[in-house]
A and B are shown apart, each in its own frame.
Chain A
Amino acid sequence: MTPISGIKMMKKMIKLTVGVLLLAGFSTSAVLAADGKSEAVKPAAEFGLDEIWSGYHFAKKETQALQDDDFDNPGNLWLEEGAALWSKVDGDAKKSCQSCHNDASKSMKGVATRYPVYYAPRKKLINIEQRINLCRTEQMKAKPWKWKSKQLLAMAVYVNNQSKGMPVNIRITAENKPFWEKGKAFYYKRRGQLDMSCAHCHEKYYGKHIRSNVLSQGHINGFPTYRLKWQKPGSVHRRFKGCNKQVRAKPYGLGSDEYNNLELYVKWRGNGLPVETPAVRN
């Protein structure tokens, strides 16, 4: 059996299970709550996907096992580092994250389900990495961490992880709508010498093999994700850059407005998927 027919069969089986459970009187949401990441979610709004699958679903069994085991998941090294940094005092204000936010398991719970958000002082979106650095520069009077630094990745993993299992829930409001629109335009725009849009791979052909890789739907509910290729966790923006380069397009910068808009749009497409940070992918 090829992997692809395996996926199709799994989809069928899951549909069947959901159906049977529904007959037995369970609600769909109860079924999804049990193990959302390996099951399809129905999109709340109309767009190019009939059902939403986490990238977990398209990963190899071995990779899934690596993610599922708390000890084996190498992303947890960064999670532990983030937990240690949470209470570490830094900067001229002599504060740590904890000084303002106390217990992260309470104060950061749900944050990952709604970011990136509109940030009024800048009249644009900021994502979690930027929020962390804003806290550092403005509240702690400390230096911002670099995008690819161990610290920023560790803290981003830690903050996202506080929402693990909670469904992504991006709400489109009057404030973030213009940025969501820009993100959507980016998603469907062909770019690079290979002239492909995000939608070509992740909407039209997900689940299919492109050479030895299986295309996912491109959801970002597991970021920062530990990529075996990177041998460390990386941000959503780093992944966007990689995709852009693959189609021979000039990437935007880490932390750029363009990628924040895309991050909002892509995250919205995955509404209902559970936060998996730190996910493991190849």
Chain B
Amino acid sequence: MAKPRIKVPKMAKVGEIVEIKSMISHKMESGRRKDKKTGKVIPRKIINALKVTFNGKLVFSASLHPSVSANPYFAFDFKVPGSGDMVFEWTEDGGKVITAKKSLKAA
């Protein structure tokens, strides 16, 4: 289960600074916990990277490590260059990529 949520304003002025928010529901299994019944280590499974692009251009990126809590949340300020699509890509251990997209109209 990894459901993304992003908040990008639908409309903004060119040059305006807006706040972008993102959250993805994810357990962020650290790889350090043990199964209480079997005593075996539960394999690590975390979101290890977030990449955000606007019209294909990288605007934000982060590497995540096992100490990041469940449901990682990122917010950043963004100076609107014009209209376009903002695409979020979260990469999970194992290589699975989860994406979310929102369009922004600039006036």
Contacts and interface: CB of A to CB of B under 8 A. Distances in A.
B55 interface: no
B21 A72 contact: yes
Contacts of B73: 72, 74
Contacts of B28: 231
A231 B3 contact: no
A231 B23 CA distance: 13
Nearest to A69: B21
Given A71-B5, A71-B7, A80-B3, A232 B70 contact: yes
Chain A CB count within 10 A is highest, among B21, B27, B70, for: B70
Contacts of B3: 77, 80-81
A77 B23 CA distance: 9
B23 to A, nearest CB: 7
Contact of A71 (B1, B23, B25): B23
B69 interface: yes
Contacts of A141: none
Contacts of B5: 71, 77, 80
Interface string A166-179: 00000000000000
Chain B CB count within 10 A is highest, among A77, A228, A231, for: A77
Interface residues of B, number: 13
B70 A71 contact: no
Interface string A69-102: 0011010010011000000000000000000000
Interface in B1-51: 1, 3, 5, 7, 21, 23, 25, 27-28
Nearest to A81: B3
Contact of B71 (A80, A81, A231): A231
A241 interface: no
Contacts of A231: 27-28, 69-71
Given A80-B3, A81-B3, A150-B1, A74 B71 contact: yes
Nearest to B69: A231
B71 A71 contact: no
Nearest to B7: A71
Contacts of A71: 5, 7, 21, 23
A74 B3 CA distance: 12
A74 B23 contact: yes
A80 B27 CA distance: 17
Interface of B: 1, 3, 5, 7, 21, 23, 25, 27-28, 69-71, 73
| List of 9 A-B pairs having minimum Cβ-Cβ separation, nearest first | A231-B70, A77-B25, A74-B71, A71-B7, A71-B21, A231-B69, A77-B71, A77-B3, A232-B70
12 contacts: A71-B5, A71-B21, A71-B23, A72-B73, A74-B71, A77-B3, A77-B23, A81-B3, A150-B1, A231-B70, A231-B71, A232-B70
Given A72-B21, A80-B5, 20 more contacts: A71-B5, A71-B21, A71-B23, A72-B23, A72-B73, A74-B23, A74-B73, A77-B3, A77-B71, A80-B3, A81-B3, A81-B25, A150-B1, A231-B27, A231-B28, A231-B69, A231-B70, A231-B71, A232-B70, A232-B71
